[in-house]
Amino acid sequence: MSEQAKEPRGDKGKGPVHVAIIMDGNGRWAQARGKPRLFGHHAGAKRVREIVEACPEIGVKYLTIFAFSTENWKRTQAEVSGLMGLFRRYIKKEAQDLRDRGVRVRFIGDRVKLDDKLVDLMDELELMTAGNDRVHLTIALNYGGRDEVARAAKRLAYDVAQGAVQPKDVDEETLPRYLDTYVLPDPDLVIRTSGEARISNFLLWQSAYAEYEFIDTLWPDFTDKIFTRIVGNYAGRTRSYGAVTR
Ligand code: FPP
């Protein structure tokens, strides 16, 4: 993955291999319909299935979605517990189907603060889909980019203290091995729905060379058609990684 950042190349004509999505706008979508925010999150969960299904058809091998951030605990207790319940139900309901459709599921983020039942379901789903390779779905749950880098630095510091790593050997190649995403390629394209042009602490290290697409559509209205169009647009862009390619 860090090879990618080091080797300047243009990707013109190629689609993104790894797409990351900040799924925003569920609350506004529900409010516009006079419904509670959780209604929007339920509608959002349905979209996840549609977008995962579209991936193999358009050549997206890795999809990473931002489901719950380290900052989302600041929401009302009712919304937080509603979301946690939704994640549990989603995993129980979709597990079989994800496995049968060749989806390998991984979770990133700090599991320590999550309830044990949810963590058990996450572990189980990772295990039961571990042999799949058609699409790699990564769900960021209690995830924050700075938190991830800090946790990585802590683990690296332990290895240094134990003599397993020499301080002089710590470089751009070393640190990502301690990130939650160590087995994934860096994202090529990051999409954020709902009109906000921020990255909100998502994949900070990994997105150094990503293209960004900010679109006004609220997440529950984000169809596979819109997804396909955005992925298609990406192929027309040139990525230079700092070099001159034209
Ligand atoms: C942001 O919208 C969305 C979230 C914090 C939750 C994302 C969760 C889902 C899409 C639900 C399902 C996910 C899985 C993996 C089952 P917001 O509430 O901030 O919207 P707002 O900006 O309009 O208030």
User: What number does the ligand 1 atom closest to the CA of 86 have?
Assistant: 16
**Chain mean pLDDT for the chain:** 93
Q: Is the pLDDT of residue 6 over 70?
A: no
> Per-residue pLDDT tens for 90-113?
999 999 999 999 999 999 999 999
Question: What pLDDT is stored for residue 12 in this prediction?
Answer: 56
Q: Is the pLDDT of residue 152 over 50?
A: yes
pTM: predicted TM-score of the whole model, two decimal places: 0.93
pLDDT above 70 as % of the chain: 92
Confidence of residue 11 (pLDDT cuts 50, 70, 90): low
Judging by beta carbons within 10 Å of its beta carbon (0-12, 13-18, 19+), is residue 230 exposed, middle or buried? buried
Q: How far apart are CA 83 and CA 68, in angstroms?
A: 8
With a 6 Å cutoff on the Cβ, whether 99 touches ligand 1 is no
Q: Is residue 6 part of a domain?
A: no
Q: Is residue 156 part of a domain?
A: no
With a 6 Å cutoff on the Cβ, whether 137 touches ligand 1 is no
Question: What pLDDT is stored for residue 5 in this prediction?
Answer: 41
Nearest to 99 by CA among 145, 52, 146: 52
Q: Is residue 136 part of a domain?
A: yes
Nearest to 189 by CA among 98, 87, 55, 57: 55
Confidence of residue 188 (pLDDT cuts 50, 70, 90): very high
Rg of the chain taking only CA atoms, in angstroms? 18
Q: What is the distance in A from the centroid of ligand 1 to the CA of 182?
A: 25
- Enzyme catalytic residues: 24, 72
Cβ neighbours of 232 (radius 10 Å)? 11
Q: Is residue 160 part of a domain?
A: no
**Residues contacting 5, CB < 8 A, separation 6+:** 172, 186, 208, 209, 241
Confidence of residue 83 (pLDDT cuts 50, 70, 90): very high
Q: Is residue 190 part of a domain?
A: yes
What average pLDDT does this structure show over 32-60? 97
| Range in 89-103, 182-196, 225-239 with the lowest mean pLDDT | 225-239
Please give the single-letter amino acid code of residue 47. Answer: R
With a 6 Å cutoff on the Cβ, whether 24 touches ligand 1 is yes
Q: Is residue 57 part of a domain?
A: yes
Q: Is residue 158 part of a domain?
A: no
Confidence of residue 3 (pLDDT cuts 50, 70, 90): very low
Confidence of residue 235 (pLDDT cuts 50, 70, 90): confident
Query: In sequence order, which ranges of the chain are alpha helices (DSSP H)?
Result: 2-6, 26-31, 37-54, 77-100, 116-128, 145-161, 224-234
Confidence of residue 237 (pLDDT cuts 50, 70, 90): confident
**Residues contacting 103, CB < 8 A, separation 6+:** 52, 129, 132, 134, 135, 136, 137
Question: Which residue range is the domain that position 32 belongs to?
Answer: 14-146+185-234
Confidence of residue 2 (pLDDT cuts 50, 70, 90): very low
Please give the single-letter amino acid code of residue 241. Answer: Y
Q: Is residue 2 part of a domain?
A: no
Ligand 1, atom 1, lies closest to the CA of 24
User: Parallel, antiparallel, or unpaired: how do β-strands 189-192 and 18-22 relate?
Assistant: parallel
Please state the domain count of the chain: 1
Q: Is the pLDDT of residue 29 over 60?
A: yes
CATH number at residue 83: 3.40.1180.10
